[in-house]
Amino acid sequence: MARLDVPATIRRKRDGHELEADEIRAFFTAYLDGDVAEEQMSAFLMAGVIRGFTPDEAAAMTEVAVASGEVVDLSGLAGPTVDKHSTGGVGDTTTLVVAPILAACGLQVAKLSGRGLGHTGGTLDKLEAIPGFRVSLSPDEVTAQVTDIGLAVAAATADVVPLDKRLYALRDVTATVQSAALIAASVMSKKLAGGASTVLLDVKVGDGAFMTDLDDATELARQCVAIGQAHGRATGALITDMSQPLSHAIGNAVEVAHAVDVLTGERPGRFRDLCLELATAALVLTGRDPDDAAAATADALDSQAAADRFRAMVSAQGGDADIVDDPRAVLPDAPVVGTWQAPDGVLVDVDTRGLGALAGGLGAGRQRKEDDVDPTVGLEFWLEIGDDTTAIEPSVTIHASTGEDLDWARGRLEDLVTVGEGAVPPPLVHDRLLGEDPA
């Protein structure tokens, strides 16, 4: 490889040129080695955010990122291994339902999650709402558990994709987060390092998601799928709606309770429907016929096979397995529970991001890495767009730590809900990228 001329590489990206994969690899490798300074990387990233990166450029970045840390070896597992990743939204706890369904359908699910910042905790925080649940598993424990029961959800070790951690910290302070290619490279580097042979992305779009524009979300999905395919993984994406909360629960313990309700067949609706869509899509990516896959995932729920897998996972990871039988008895309660009723009319619009922030304000999420998440607090938002509010009481159940918080939440809700006449419920899934060629 020719000697890297760092300013010349930045200049080419500044001027809108596509870089060769070799040059991208050399540039990011030099950054890891300390030969590209932080200020040079940030100038490069800004140029790319404005000028754009191609899928080939993103794939080359991803390659360096994956190689920067440990790669989980799942090759010892029998059958296809699968990972599912959501770009994040409000009331989005599909992993707790989809992973058991897939395990019940014979796939191997080894999911490594981060904690992240946000209005509610991440998947690990939600699972830790279950008394006794342990998310720190060694690589050997993960492999043994997946071999045994088909699934494990554990904390990513510190050494997975260190390049991504460095880049994210830099992008966060330099306004260079907003790039489909960079987000895709970040997401996919972690998925590829996670070792699964099949990767399904759930790219959220709407005011409760990171991407609020369908075109942007589609671009992100395409970039992710292209990167995954370039690295030899069966990769697909659903682009799903986040213009209202996905499930009726927003928080940690409340989201776990609703997920268990879906697993045990006691909660039909949008959240269950999307979990089945995602699980079916993952099965299709492993080569299953679509109709056959849909039947298999529905049967996994109806037969309680998925619920059994969830119980087995909770048990294996030290949690109280009674949660499947009576989640609300096992999960911790909030000190104060109250309700709020919307004005009479049809729910026309909801400020989904605002609902997330409200749950965050109650203590469900974290602003900084060192913050603690309160598992007990959150919302149950019982309305969906198009619902007649007079037919559903209460509109919202509020789980708070103090009466003062409860009053604050009631006051905020008035601003977040728009009631009027005539509303068209948004679709659950905007698009599916499950074919061979994402472009």
Catalytic residue numbers read 85, 164, 171, 186, 190
Q: Does 212 bind a second copy (CB under 8 A)?
A: no
Q: Judged by CB under 8 A, which of 49, 66, 154, 226 binds a second copy? A: 49
Edge-first strand order for the sheet with 336-340 is 249-251, 378-381, 396-400, 336-340
Nearer to a second copy, 36 or 279 (CB): 36
Q: Does 38 bind a second copy (CB under 8 A)?
A: yes
C-alpha span between 224 and 220 (Å, rounded): 6
Across the chain, which distance is largest between two alpha carbons, in Å?
Answer: 70
252, 269 Cβ separation under 8 angstroms: no
Nearer to a second copy, 17 or 328 (CB): 17
304, 238, 250, 243: which is closest to 275 by C-alpha?
Answer: 238
Place of tokens 């993952």: 282
**Phi, psi dihedrals of residue 266, rounded to the nearest 5°:** -100, 5
Q: Does 424 bind a second copy (CB under 8 A)?
A: no
Q: Does 11 bind a second copy (CB under 8 A)?
A: yes
Token duo for residue 354: 């605002």
Least Å from the CB of residue 14 to a second copy: 5
Q: Identify each DSSP E strand in 206-314 by its residue range.
A: 234-241, 249-251
Q: Judged by CB under 8 A, which of 1, 2, 3, 8 binds a second copy? A: 8
Q: Judged by CB under 8 A, which of 41, 275, 279, 373 binds a second copy? A: 41
Q: Does 6 bind a second copy (CB under 8 A)?
A: yes
205, 199, 202, 206: which is closest to 226 by C-alpha?
Answer: 199
Nearer to a second copy, 37 or 295 (CB): 37
Token duo for residue 382: 């019982």
Q: Which stretch binds a second copy (CB under 8 A): 35-43, 300-308, 338-346, 347-355?
A: 35-43
Nearer to a second copy, 45 or 256 (CB): 45
First-to-final CA distance of the chain = 30
Q: Which stretch binds a second copy (CB under 8 A): 5-13, 296-304, 316-324, 381-389?
A: 5-13
Least Å from the CB of residue 45 to a second copy: 7
Q: Does 367 bind a second copy (CB under 8 A)?
A: no
Least Å from the CB of residue 16 to a second copy: 9
Nearer to a second copy, 43 or 342 (CB): 43
Least Å from the CB of residue 208 to a second copy: 21
Return the sign of the alpha-carbon dihedral for residues 116, 122, 127, 132: positive
Nearer to a second copy, 16 or 403 (CB): 16
C-alpha span between 297 and 288 (Å, rounded): 11
Over the Cα atoms of the chain, what is R_g?
22
Token duo for residue 38: 């932080």
C-alpha span between 53 and 336 (Å, rounded): 49
SS (H, E, C) 281-295: HHHHHCCCCHHHHHH
Least Å from the CB of residue 9 to a second copy: 8
Q: Judged by CB under 8 A, which of 21, 42, 265, 299 binds a second copy? A: 42
- Considering only residues 119 through 178, tell me which ones interact with a second copy, judged by CB under 8 A: 170, 172-176, 178
Q: Identify each DSSP E strand in 191-247 by its residue range.
A: 198-205, 234-241
Q: Does 276 bind a second copy (CB under 8 A)?
A: no
Nearer to a second copy, 178 or 303 (CB): 178
What residues make contact with a second copy under the rule CB under 8 A? 6-8, 10-11, 14, 37-47, 49-51, 170, 172-176, 178
